[in-house]
Chains A and B, each alone.
Chain A
Amino acid sequence: MKTDVMVRISQVSKTYGRRDNRVAALDGVSVAFPAGRFTAVMGPSGSGKSTLLQCAAGIDRVDAGEVELAGTALNRLSESALTKLRRDRIGFVFQAFNLVPSLTARQNVALPLMLAGRRPKRRDVDAALDRLGLAERRRHRPGEMSGGQQQRVAIARALVTRPQVLFADEPTGALDSRSSREVMTLLRELVDREGQTIVMVTHDPVAASFADEVLFLADGRIAGSLEAPTPDLVAARITKLEGER
């Protein structure tokens, strides 16, 4: 097992809103996501999971603290440099699907490659779609697909650039238990076979049990972690965390 750190977050804080309606979404969080590992992030709603993920992925900027990705500090990068780094090294699956409505599944998946100035090979794009069971849906637009299918397109899009880290924000939130299991199996395989680093936010103890480690978040702070999770253990911790509020 590799022990290199892929993403390191040190003393990160992030506050939303102004004076009267201030919300500290992250409050001095320090955490390291090791390379080649599958980490799940859990916590009650509003605990700052999405914020943590977005800051770690360089989609949002932190108010204080450091974010380091494979040795590169993100804070000081310009918006363009940051985008390029993200494009090359990071895949992101959002809580809501966030596909471009006017583009077909295939075009959506090819988009990151095109933006990076690469000529997407149809074979690669189709392979990414096929792997997620979307062979039939290549030419469909988001409006013509179910929620689960859209989410799978989003995952295919995140993986097509072969990123060093895949961040996923509740990728199974809109899926039934069968599709959800399929997606999780796929992510697990990516980690096992290709050494993919994955950080995933989820509310589902079953999904979390696919990870190597579960990190718990409450009120913008780290509230412990769990190695070798099982659905029951995870559910117990979550119930406890929610009860403490």
Chain B
Amino acid sequence: MIRIALATLRNRAASYAGAFLALTLGTAIIAMTALTLAAVSSAGFHGPQRYAQAPAVVTAPVTLTLKDDDGDPREFPLSRPKPLSPQAVQALSGTGRTVPDRTFSAQVTGGPDDQVGHPWSTAAFTPYRLVKGHAPASSREIVVGGGAPELVGGTVRVATGAGFGEYTVAGVTAPAWFEHAVFFADAEAARLSPQVNAVVAYGPAASVRAAVQGTGARVLTGGDRLLAERDQNGGRDQLRDAEGMAGTSMMLVAFVVVFVVIATFAFVVEQRRREMALLRTVGATPGQVRRMVLAEAFLLAVLASALGCAAGVRLTGVLRGWMVDHGVAPSWLQVDARPVPLVISFFLGLLAAVIGTAVVSWRAGRVRPAEALREAAGRRRAATPVRLVLGGVLLALGVQKSAAVAGGDQVSALSMQNYLFVPVLLVGGCALLTPLLVRPVLAALAWPLRRLGAGAMVVREGALFAGRRTAAVATPVVLAVGLGAALFTAQDAANAANAAGLRAGSSADYVLSAQGDGEIGSAVVDRVRAVKGATVAVYTPAEVRLSGDGDRYLGTLSAFAVDAGELAATRRPAVVGGSMGRLGGDFLVLDRDSAREFGVRTGDRVRAGLPDGTSVPLRVAAQTRTTVTGEIGYVPAAFTGGARPTQIEVKVAAGGDATAVAAALRAAVRDQPVRLSTRASLLDAEQAEQQRKTRLATGNVFGIALAFALLAIANTLVMAAPDRRRELSALTLAGATRRTTLTFVAAETVVATVAGVVLAGAAAAAVVAGQRAALTSLVGGFPMTVPWTSVLAVTALCAVTAVGTSVVATRLLVGGPAPRGE
């Protein structure tokens, strides 16, 4: 049997080479994305990082202890622990060498958004080493962590909570992954940030503990030191973007590859039906035929998948490079060959190949030999019941998901990552229904086809007769064009809806925001508050941990601490429960989805753990409609919990002088690391930036899938070319010139492509319609655009690939009269 299998393999070299190539490349890109996903969704580092070389770190409490659902205590890290009390600092000085540590926002102009300042003496126990220059020798000198060596000797402007300052770069250190540091002379650091955040104590642990006894300070040693660090997740936070992108890529790529590989392997079996029928007449049982075909596919698939996995490991470098270059992933990211993603990719490829083969060979083996011979030679249905049923099921699921999003979880329509399953299901369903559309498309193309003269008949009958070939070509076209159109359009719609939602929710005229991840200094706040004829709202981001009866943890809410009146003047949250009037001094306003998630209702009393660990009682005063911002909450301005304001929103008072207010605001922020913009221009800028980022990500994610789909189109046509030999030589004998023959082939391919594009359009339209319904109920109306350039480019690529390949392959592989014995 193996010998027969091997012998037949030789005869079908083109088909098998095609299937092999499709599976190898498919597995390679699945493996590439799977490995990348595995790398970005696990922590890069373990244990204390910044304090790795500090023997003991003394801090004020750095965690808040609440109870989980079982009543067991659970420690939550604080985002802004309180400073260490002066008594504790004093007491520690007697225990041996101590180094006070300070951490504060300090941004070098043109530097990264999240730069932080530290005193230079702390560099000793952190992994910072000078690579050029020297330590800060005066209060005007700094060392830039991970800075470019060219900086040394130059003067830079550094923004801190106290405003701008000019410093000379005395030296630069090698970069550290967990932060972007700026080191000041110790005295200068103490001036900029008088509070001591932590003390690193070198003395004996016992005496250190004894010294701070009763001051409320906590001595952290060993693994606990991590609790005092800013990044406690081993770098996972920095990988969030990369994880999102890799996750989306993985899903999309796996979907396209599995689909195309199933179709390709099924096509190979289709091509062999005549041979299988022959074997049946010679005495092969249905089971024998199936087993032979399956064994062949299995062997081929094992080889191809293994090769694909090996290639995938190499390809990860390309994807990683792209992500690092485009700022999606941090440069410390390492993607290494892990077994689990490779095994998954291997089996995904293998499974797709075997499924594609099994479905068709099961059917092919079942038919009677006489029927099989006739069927192999004659017309047969391209739309098999299995295919139609499966297509129908995918479509139904897609519609149901889409309706579910529109009817409830509308926020997920804003994120392609969360919404991806809708395009995948709808486009997949349509791809399966392709064979149904060949006839209507032919009817629609009747007029242009007629211009081919006798060719019209040949092309029409050809496309119908070889329904499977038409379907095999159209399937990747549906996937590529459908997904492309759906993703690009839906992404733009999400951005537009987002902008519309933000516009609708705000009534401010001007927005002042801190530069980068910095904060707005109190001096600026005071000056802005002093501006006449304006209502000023100061927003301080305060992450609060909510707990119910018995300290039971309910959830974490990204809230803003803001004065109730100021909030009402500058933002317009749509209240769906409770009231925003007379909020009082203990209000909690939060969006409905978060309230549902936490299980709180309007009027409930909860406790809120503020960023510094202070616990305050709050009353759920109102719930707002969940909008584009997703989870959001407001607490009284007093409850900042040590956090600093990052945004000030200004509304010109009724009858106020807008130009005067603008001038006053400009004066207030002059020479301060605070950006002043009108609300409209800020939103426009944000939308543009959002658009740029998401297009980049969608482009990359989709690009991988597109490349594979194009390959599949070319591949199928090359595989199909030898089948045409008999048909085309009959045409030649009937008097068609080579040129005419090639025109027929091209026209037939165009029919298949158009059928694909029509279905793709339908699928994309369905996706976009569903998303639009969801977004409209979320934000009301928003302008909708279709990125035609991208959509048409994808369509053109598919068409050019299809027609080009079919013509070239036909020219090369088909010529002369039909060989005998077939």
Contact = CB atoms under 8 A, between A and B. Distances in A.
B443 interface: no
Contacts of A144: 821
A114 to B, nearest CB: 7
B286 A80 contact: yes
A86 interface: yes
A150 interface: yes
B821 A101 contact: yes
Contacts of A114: 1, 3-4
Contact of B821 (A86, A87, A145, A157): A145
Interface string B781-822: 000000000000000000000000000000000000001111
Contacts of A84: 283, 285
A78 to B, nearest CB: 9
B285 A83 contact: yes
B370 A115 contact: no
Interface string A209-221: 0000000000000
Given A60-B368, A84-B285, A142-B821, 6 more contacts: A79-B366, A87-B283, A100-B279, A102-B275, A111-B283, A142-B820
Interface of B: 1, 3-4, 7-8, 10-12, 275, 278-288, 366, 368-371, 373, 819-822
A98 interface: yes
A99 B821 CA distance: 7
A83 B280 contact: yes
Contact of A143 (B3, B371, B822): B822
Interface in A137-191: 141-145, 147, 150, 157, 161
Contacts of A102: 7-8, 10-12, 275
Interface in A114-135: 114-116
A38 interface: no
A99 B820 CA distance: 11
A175 B512 CA distance: 97
A101 B820 CA distance: 9
Given A141-B821, A142-B820, A142-B821, A59 B287 contact: no
Contacts of A86: 283
A115 B821 contact: no
A56 to B, nearest CB: 12
Contacts of A147: 820
B282 A112 contact: yes
Contacts of B279: 100, 111, 115
Contact of A80 (B3, B285, B371, B821): B285
A97 interface: yes
Contacts of B8: 100, 102-103
Interface residues of A, number: 34
Given A98-B373, A100-B8, A115 B820 contact: no
A54 interface: yes
A112 B820 contact: no
B821 A92 contact: no
A87 B281 CA distance: 9
Contacts of B288: 115
Shortest 6 CB-CB distances between A and B: which pairs? Answer: A142-B821, A102-B11, A87-B283, A60-B370, A143-B821, A83-B285
Interface string A16-58: 0000000000000000000000000000000000000010000
Contact of A115 (B11, B284, B819): B284
A101 B11 contact: yes
Nearest to A161: B283
B43 to A, nearest CB: 55
Contacts of B371: 60
10 contacts: A60-B369, A79-B368, A83-B284, A100-B8, A101-B822, A103-B8, A107-B4, A111-B282, A143-B821, A161-B283
A8 interface: no
Nearest to B367: A79
B297 to A, nearest CB: 17
A87 B371 CA distance: 18
B271 to A, nearest CB: 12
Given A60-B368, A142-B821, A116 B7 contact: no
Contacts of B373: 98
A25 to B, nearest CB: 11
B283 A83 contact: yes
Contacts of A92: 281
B4 A103 contact: yes
B4 A111 contact: yes
Contacts of A115: 1, 279, 282-285, 288
A197 to B, nearest CB: 18
A203 interface: no
A216 to B, nearest CB: 23
A234 B285 CA distance: 39
Contacts of B12: 102
Given A100-B275, A100-B278, A107 B7 contact: yes
A61 interface: yes
Given A92-B281, A142-B821, A103 B286 contact: no
Nearest to B372: A59
B285 A103 contact: no
Interface centre among A59, A99, A116 (most CB of B within 10 A): A59
Nearest to B820: A143
A84 B280 CA distance: 10
A226 to B, nearest CB: 28
Contacts of B287: 80
Given A59-B369, A99-B821, A79 B285 contact: yes
A147 B820 CA distance: 9
A57 to B, nearest CB: 9
Contacts of B368: 59-61, 79
Contacts of B10: 102
Nearest to B366: A79
A141 B280 CA distance: 20
Given A143-B819, A143-B820, A98 B281 contact: yes
Contacts of A157: 282
A23 to B, nearest CB: 13
Interface string A71-96: 00000000110011011000010100
Contacts of B820: 142-143, 145, 147
B375 to A, nearest CB: 12
A22 to B, nearest CB: 16
Contact of A103 (B7, B283, B366, B819): B7
B301 to A, nearest CB: 21
A219 B282 CA distance: 29
B429 to A, nearest CB: 30
Nearest to A112: B283
A63 to B, nearest CB: 13
Given A97-B821, A102-B10, A143-B819, A54 B282 contact: no
A174 to B, nearest CB: 11
A94 B8 CA distance: 21
A157 B281 CA distance: 12
A155 B521 CA distance: 99
B821 A83 contact: no
A94 B285 CA distance: 19
Contacts of B4: 103, 107, 111, 114
A83 B281 CA distance: 8
